[in-house]
Amino acid sequence: METTLNKQAQPLDQELRKEATEAFNRLGFPSTKNEEWKYVNLQEVLPAQPDFSSNPSGSHLNEAWLAESKIAGNDVQFYIFENGTFRNDLSSPILSGNIVIAPLSTLKKLDQATGYYGKTAMFGKEPFVALNTAVDHDGMLIHIKEGVTCDKPIHLLFINSNTNNNKITSLRNLIVIDKNASATVIESYHSHNDECNGLTNVVNEIIVGENAQLNFYKAQLDNEKTSQINFTQAVQSKNSTFDTVTVTAGGHLVRNNLHIKLNDTNCTSHLFGLYLLDGNQVTDNHTLVDHAKPNCFSNELYKGIIGGKASGIFNGKIMVREDAQKTNAYQSNKNILLSDEATMNTKPQLEIYADDVKCTHGATTGQMDEEALFYLRSRGIGETNAKTLLNIAFAGDVLNNIKHEALRERLTQLATQKLQK
């Protein structure tokens, strides 16, 4: 593996890549013997001979198909990547100045990203972060300068048109929101057709400056032959706000690691997640909210609707450090199982070292509310429609936290379509 990694590296920082390669060779891919991965069998999706090359097909992403994939509408700045490579011909213009939006591949000689690259997502204990750092192909730098409001949302579309089952595509995104700045960033993941496959390994590094605000939305809509490992690390400064919503409706195996560090006073974080699973899908959400400083607030709600033989996992930890007095932190995980063969494993956790805090956590897993279903059916609503209405109402607690109207409506539509199957 080491030789392959070194051949594929095209580093912003050669020394960092070398360290990452050494870390990955030491860590290797995790197995179910690892407590953090006990419910995820990676052997199902890891190729025996991984191929890290980049090969955009380039010719068949027609306008009609792309229009369907633009789930946030057209009043956005959109940037398209295919199989890990930036498609300049299909994207909005690259920006510089007070708003920088540019693929990393154009910055390798400019050092514009080196002040942020590898500074928040540490790879010492994270094998997929180490692998990503060693071989990443491309990704986007988004830098909103001090005092600037980015009026148009930024939509990053990641398209998989790969049909090589040995392919591991790596993506790296750096999002920096400076002091008193604000932005909305949307990530969405799509498969070009039902035959596309492979594994995508994504790392997002997010820095939210003092008094800054970031709305960060993620939609995972790949087909059920494509898998994804997604690691997002956000670090917040004083008086900042970070709101994030993750919607997972596609993919064979999806692992989301979301780590947020409230690294100064008066930070606010909202974490919302929705996973809609059927067939043999597996989605594993791991979250860590690290309260490092006093007078901060976090609220976390993850909800799942799981049918078929699908499997959901939620492992969420709130950590309150000794200096983080006056912390308010809340966590909830709620799930509905639609079949006898669907499974859900949930592990909410609190790790508190301060004594003046308000923290709660909880988890529930059960069946659909039969009384509510009976009530709707007694009003003349058919069983299928009644179940869909109840499920969408359940999902709405997450979807309604998407502030971008077009995105919220489109994801609600896609959720409804999936729940009606």
pTM of the model: 0.94
Q: For residue 326, tell me if it sits in a domain.
A: no
What 8-state DSSP symbol labels residue 125? S
375 and 259 housed in the same domain: no
Predicted pLDDT at 109? 47
Nearest to 92 by CA among 104, 80, 106: 80
In-domain check, residue 358 = no
pLDDT tens across 284-303, in order? Answer: 999 999 999 999 999 999 99
Query: Do 374 and 255 share a domain, yes or no?
Result: no
**Is 253 a member of any domain?**
yes
Position 103 in a domain: yes
- Environment class of residue 137 by beta-carbon count within 10 Å: exposed (0-12), middle (13-18) or buried (19+)? buried
pLDDT band, very low/low/confident/very high, at 6 (cuts 50, 70, 90)? very low
Query: How confident is the model at residue 111, as a pLDDT?
Result: 56
State mean pLDDT over 305-317.
98
The pLDDT tens digits for 363-379 are 999 999 999 999 999 99
CA distances from 183 to 101, 191, 284, 342, 368 (A): 12, 27, 28, 38, 38
Give residue 16's pLDDT: 86
CB neighbour list of residue 210: distance below 8 Å, 6 or more residues apart: 179, 180, 237, 238, 239, 240, 264
Phi-psi region of 307 (alpha: psi -120 to 50; beta: other; left: phi over 0): beta
Residues 378 and 259 in one domain: no
Residue 402's domain comprises: 370-421
User: Rounded mean pLDDT of 78-96?
Assistant: 92
Question: Does 275 map to a domain?
Answer: no
Predicted confidence at residue 296, as pLDDT, reads 98
What would the pLDDT profile of 370-411 be if each residue is shown by its tens digit?
999 999 999 999 999 999 999 999 999 999 999 999 999 999
Determine the distance from the C-alpha atom of residue 369 to the mean position of all C-alpha atoms in its chain, rounded to a whole number: 30
pLDDT tens by residue, 41-74: 999 899 888 888 776 655 578 888 899 999 999 9
Domain termination site, one of 248, 264, 280: 264
Residue among 146, 160, 177, 344 nearest 244 (CA): 177
Judged by average pLDDT, the poorest of 99-113, 255-269, 314-328 is 99-113
**Domain count across the chain:** 2
CA distances from 2 to 19, 49, 134, 201, 263 (A): 12, 12, 10, 18, 35
Residue 208 has pLDDT above 70, yes or no: yes
256 and 378 in one domain?
Answer: no
Give the pLDDT score at 325: 98
* Residue 297 phi, psi dihedral angles, 5° rounding: -130, 135
Tell me if 356 is assigned to some domain.
no
Predicted local distance difference test score (pLDDT) of residue 3: 35
Report, as an integer, the average pLDDT of 309-332: 98
Question: CA-to-CA distance for 334 and 175, rounded, in angstroms?
Answer: 30
Answer yes or no: is 343 within a domain.
no
Domain identity same for 258 and 402: no
Domain termination site, one of 210, 233, 264:
264
Both 257 and 375 in one domain: the answer is no
Choosing from 241, 264, 287, the residue where a domain stops is 264
Per-residue pLDDT band for 9 (boundaries 50, 70, 90) equals very low
Q: Is 11 a residue whose pLDDT tops 90?
A: no
148 confidence band (pLDDT: 50, 70, 90): very high
Q: Is 336 among the domain residues? A: no
Strand 140-144 and strand 99-103: the pairing is antiparallel
Note the pLDDT of residue 114: 63
Question: Do 45 and 37 form a contact (C-beta atoms < 8 A)?
Answer: no
Does pLDDT of 281 surpass 80? yes
Q: Are residues 241 and 386 in the same domain?
A: no
**pLDDT given for residue 258 in this prediction:** 98
Kindly report, residue by residue over 173-188, the tens digit of the pLDDT: 999 999 999 999 999 9
Q: What percent of the chain is modeled with pLDDT above 90? A: 81
pLDDT of res. 56: 61
Q: Please state, rounded to an integer, the average pLDDT across all residues of the chain.
A: 92
